[in-house]
Structures are given as C-alpha cells and as structure tokens.
Amino acid sequence: MDFIKVGAACPKTKVADIDYNIENIKSCIEDGYINGSKILIFPELSITSYTCADLFTQWKLLNHAEQGIKEICLFSEGKDMVIAVGAPLLHNNCLYNCGYIIFEGKVLGIVPKSYIPNYTEFYEKRWFTEGLGLKETSIDLSFQENVPFGTDLIFTCGEIKLGFEICEDLWVTIPPSSYLSLQGANIIANLSASNELVSKSAYRKGLVEDQSGRCMSAYIYSSAGVHESTTDLLFSGHMLIGENGIILNENDRFERENTNIYSIVDIYKLNSERMKNVSFRTSAKLHSTNYREVKFNLKDSGVEKFDRFVDRHPFVPSSEALRHERCKEIFNIQTSALAKRLEHTKAQKAVIGISGGLDSTLALLVAVKTFDMLKMPRKNIVTITMPGFGTTDRTYNNALTLCRELECDLREINIVKACLQHFEDIGHDTSIHDVTYENVQARERTQILMDIANKEGGILIGTGDLSELALGWCTYNGDHMSMYSVNCSIPKTLVRYLVKYVAEKESSREVGETLLDILDTPVSPELLPRDVSGDITQKTEDIVGPYELHDFFLYHFIKHGSSPERILFLACHAFKDEYDKEIIKKWLDKFLWRFFSQQFKRSALPDGPKVGTISLSPRGDWRMPSDASVNTWFK
C-alpha cells in the first residue's frame, strides 16, 4: 500500500442547528466518496457548530448531537471511507470536545481534545474538560456499546495508521501528534476551529508544515468556516493537507459553500523516512507509551485516478525564484568547502582540466569564485585543455575562450602523441576503439593534471558529478580521481541550472555567451574520433540514457529505497508525455545494472562537499559493498 487519497471538508453550518449541519456534512461525505477519498476530516464540533457557547450545557443539544452521529453512521454504510466529525460528549458529568471516528456504519472510537484553551478570545473551559490522560476507557452510546474512548487510540488498516488531535492540541509545546507518530501513526488528522486574525493563516500553515515534518507524517487539517457565529470572531474554513514538511493542498479561505480538498498521500515514503532516521527511532524508544490499536479494513485502498504531482526533476526546484536562491546557496557551499581545503593544505594554486563541457565549466566557476573570495589572483588557477582524438573545435574553442575571459592561467597539452606511444607500449591496435582506447586518454589526462598540481604546489580540482558517479560513467583512476571534487554531490540536471545561473546572474556578457554555448553542447567525454564534419560522435545520453531519467531513478532509489516497480510507476507518471513505458524500463534496467556494478569506483572517491540530501560518498551517506548483486532488484 504505497498511496492513499485523503481529504478535508468544511461544510456550511448554522449555529446549534444540528439537522442543517448533518445535511451539509452528508453532502461533503458524498463528494468525498465520489472523488475516491478514503479518509475525510471535518472541523471541530462540526455537528453542533463550534460557537454554541452556553448552549453546550443544554441537554436537548447534546442528545440531538448524539442522534446526529448515529445518522452519519447510517449514511457511511457502504462508502469504504473513514470519516471524522466533531461533536460534544457527556461522560461522567464531564463534557468533552471530541472527534468521532466513523467507518462503515459504526463509531470506531472517540478522541477527546487534550488541551482546552482558556486565554485571550478562547473560553472553552467554561464548558469542556481536558481529555489529557484519558486512556483505556470505553463508553456506551445510545446506539452502540463499548466504543473506545481516549487520547490513546491509533486507527490502523495495514500500513495506514491514523492518529487524531483537535485544534489547540497542535499549538501546545509538545502536541499529542508527536507521541502518536512515535507510536506509528503516519497520518495525523486535526479537527479544528481556528478563528481568523491578520497573518494567523501563515502561522497555522507553518504549524502544519513543521509538525508533519517533525512527525514524518501526513497531516490533514480542517477548520470551521465562515458560517460560525461572528459575535466577536470570524472563522475562515482553512483546510490544509501536509506531508513530511510540504503542503500538498490548501483551499481558498472564506468560502461560503460546502468545500472539500483532496490529496494523495505517499505512505511508503513516510515509512521509508522513519526507517532511515535513527533519531526518530530513538525518540520512539525513549517515549514509548501504551496505545490502543483500533483496526478497520478498507475494501479497496487503491487510488483510482493517480493525480499526485510527481516532479520529473526532483533535484531542481520548479520555481525560477527558488532555483536562483538554491543555485546561490549551492555555490556558497561549494566555494566555502573549497576555500577550507585550500587554506588547510596551504595550497596557493588550483589545477583544473577544462574540456569545454558542463562539469569542468562548473568546477572552474567554483574555483574562480573561491579565489575571488580568498582574494587570491585568478592567475593561480591553472586551467589545462588537453585535446585528444575526439576533441571538437566547438568544445576546444569554448574551453579556450572561457579560460581567457576568466583571466586564468591557460595551458594546452595535446595528448595524442603520448596516447599513441602508450598504445604502442601496451600493444593496442589504434583502430580498435574499445574501452582501452577511451580509458588510456582519460588516464593520460589525469596523470598530466596530477603531476602539474605537484609541480605547481597546488591541488587538482575534480569535475565529475553525482549522476556520473551513480552510473560509474568515469574512468577508474582517471577522471574518477582528484585531490578535491567540488561537483561530487551535484546531479547532471542541476549542473545545467548552476551554469545557467552564473551565465544569467553573475557573469559579464562575454562570459555569459560562452556559458550558454557550452549549455547547448551535447554531453560527451569526446574519447572517440570526430565524424567527417568534425562533430561529436560519442554522445553520452545515447549510450547510457537520458540524464533526466537517471537522476529521477537515483533520487527515488536512494532517498526512499524505492523498488524498481515503484520507480517505474512514478517515472511513467512523471514522464508520461516524454517517454513510453518500454523506454523508461530499458533505461531503469541500465541504471540498476550500472549502479551495482560500478560501486567499486564510488568506494574510492576523493573528498568533496555534500550539497543536497543525496550523496554517494563512501564515508557518509552511501556505504555499499562493491560486490553486492543486483539480481534481487531484477526479480
């Protein structure tokens, strides 16, 4: 069970008019049923309305409210949906503000509000008693006996584990949902009646974001609407659905009709995050509490229409403004890290091999910004272009132009003669363009760079990116090796935006034009001879597949431990207008095979700064045996 559709509802109400309220609640339930929602949350005290005040002490209202719950139970039959509505409950002469959890004609359980606000505009203690500490209790309703009652209830159906709190509970220092999540609840629902004040909605949204993030859960929030009494307060009907720190859906406040919002929640992702997070597991152990499990069984928890947004470029923010902000932050991380290494080693120079491609360009831009920051002359950046058998005029000229425009120490060393000598030494036929032919060039270039770094008293800056490391698309002890690797945790899809960011925001017109042409150049190691027109023949993405697919595979494989079947499903949805299923499956198989077979290269990586949440450093985020078999992932 990976996904489930959930919803929040805000019905029209009339204060203390239970029959009217019930009809509107039914209308929202029907909408939820039609839209395939499996969980639907209503506002606090939605049966009676929240603002009844001293009418809550009227037996007529309380008895009618219980009959209203019974009516909703009858209406819920055959709808295969958990419904949570708010109503008062009188128990042992104490009145509780409760959430009634209803499923298939029955009340599964009743959860009282733990914290009762009684400050500023709130005066709830005049009527209600805190439910805090109410555990291991059952009550009899007029139409159902032995209903679980208390704050210790978690409602479970397979991997779905539901916990409930009510309004103020979210505002306290340690919300009940924190403890519920530690006991396994991965979907938290809040039945609320939060009045509207200037800027309060932003704070409320922040609470939902933060709590869903801390609890590594989904969070469904539904608040009372504009038809509550406006004696002193106004309610806006604010509804939010969050997931692990991100808001999936939010309504327009102040709506006057029955309103529902829905989102598809990723249960698999939430459970995966919890499994990996040691601090979460430790907290669960330290704060272990006895909770009662109330089971229910959905006939079908599947999502009929999968309309959840799946980002095809998960490493790249979709918003341009956010992209620019992210790029600026990444450059700050890269340059600060490189500056620390230069200061520590007391190196006065940096050596970079410049090919005219994206990765070496990004590394050079990082080095230039670092040297400027340290007030070191750019001439101390030794840039070396090393033409070989496949070097094209376009990449060669872009490399020269960029280094000159950035005022670096530019040197050219042609590797053809040295490689031909090496072919002769090892007895390799130069007409055979195999892996030996390619790797001899990569290793010759690395040898030159390493030796010049030694000669100049500098460090060799590595240029390889995260995507290449995932695929093993690098030559062992060739371009795979350096003295410090500044791009090692930046995927190829993000490299493009970083170079574009510098071209548009942080460079002269001349430099910007060169960078834009580099962006337009096909990705290639240029290790095979050019065609008759002098153009690139060896295009990386024709060989290993599109980097946007591989970055997508990498993100979901590492971030959430997703299975090939889940990755394929998500990729087919994200790229449905770009690639068909067979093509995606072909490159996914290629990704998995290369990822497992090339781990030995990642096990011997040089240092480099972690920039995002995904890193393949053998010293940090990814520790995998070099001899691990991929067979299980192909079954």
Residues in the chain: 635
Annotated binding residue 353: yes
Domain that holds residue 421: 320-544+599-621
Q: Sorting pLDDT into bands at 50, 70 and 90, what band is 302?
A: confident
Q: Is residue 457 part of a domain?
A: yes
Mean pLDDT, the chain, integer: 94
Do 277 and 347 sit in the same domain of this protein? no
Mean pLDDT to the nearest integer, 362-368: 97
515 alpha carbon, distance to own chain's centre: 30
Decide if 489 contacts 614 (C-beta within 8 A): yes
Mean pLDDT to the nearest integer, 232-251: 96
Give pLDDT tens digits for 438-482. Answer: 999 999 999 999 999 999 999 999 999 999 999 999 999 999 999
**Torsion from C-alpha of 11, 17, 18, 21, nearest 10 degrees:** -10
Do 51 and 17 sit in the same domain of this protein? yes
pTM for the structure as a whole: 0.92
Q: Sorting pLDDT into bands at 50, 70 and 90, what band is 1?
A: low
Q: Is residue 627 part of a domain?
A: no
Active site residue 585: no
Tell which of 295, 329, 346 closes a domain: 295
Q: Which amino acid is at 268?
A: Y
Give pLDDT tens digits for 386-406. Answer: 999 988 889 899 999 999 999
Active site residue 70: no
Do 97 and 164 sit in the same domain of this protein? yes
Annotated binding residue 436: no
Q: Which of 167, 215, 403, 488 is catalytic?
A: 167
Active site residue 44: yes
Do 37 and 183 sit in the same domain of this protein? yes
Q: Sorting pLDDT into bands at 50, 70 and 90, what band is 281?
A: confident
Q: Which of 12, 28, 38, 44 is catalytic?
A: 44
Annotated binding residue 335: no
Question: Could you identify the residue written with the tokens 């030996």?
Answer: 436
Do 289 and 336 sit in the same domain of this protein? no
Do 425 and 467 sit in the same domain of this protein? yes
Q: Sorting pLDDT into bands at 50, 70 and 90, what band is 191?
A: very high
Annotated binding residue 475: yes
Q: Is residue 566 part of a domain?
A: no
Mean pLDDT to the nearest integer, 409-417: 96
- Integer Cα distance of 418 and 415 in angstroms: 5
Decide if 485 contacts 617 (C-beta within 8 A): no
Q: Is residue 310 part of a domain?
A: no
Q: The domain spanning residue 168 has which CATH number?
A: 3.60.110.10
User: Strand 239-243 and strand 246-250: pairing?
Assistant: antiparallel
Give pLDDT tens digits for 35-76. Answer: 999 999 999 999 999 999 999 999 999 999 999 999 999 999
Residue 513 pLDDT > 90: yes
Residue 505 pLDDT > 90: no
Q: Sorting pLDDT into bands at 50, 70 and 90, what band is 528?
A: confident
Do 526 and 386 sit in the same domain of this protein? yes
- Integer Cα distance of 77 and 7 in angstroms: 18
Measured CA distances, 13 to 9, 46, 184, 202 (Å): 12, 8, 34, 25
Do 518 and 429 sit in the same domain of this protein? yes
Do 132 and 239 sit in the same domain of this protein? yes
Least confident of 118-122, 254-258, 472-476: 118-122
Q: Is residue 534 part of a domain?
A: yes
Annotated binding residue 200: yes
Q: Is residue 30 part of a domain?
A: yes
Annotated binding residue 354: yes
Q: How confident is the model at residue 526, as a pLDDT? A: 67
Do 134 and 55 sit in the same domain of this protein? yes
Q: How confident is the model at residue 536, as a pLDDT? A: 61
- Integer Cα distance of 97 and 112 in angstroms: 6
Do 235 and 376 sit in the same domain of this protein? no
Domain count, the chain: 2
36: which 2 tokens? Answer: 């395939």
Q: The domain spanning residue 540 has which CATH number?
A: 3.40.50.620
Query: CA nearest 327: which of 551, 504, 506, 498?
Result: 498
Annotated binding residue 318: no
Do 370 and 472 sit in the same domain of this protein? yes
Scored b (16 or more CB within 10 A) or e, 331-364 reads bebbbebbbebbeeeebebbbbbbbbbbbbbbbb
Q: Which of 5, 79, 113, 161 is catalytic?
A: 113
Q: Is residue 154 part of a domain?
A: yes
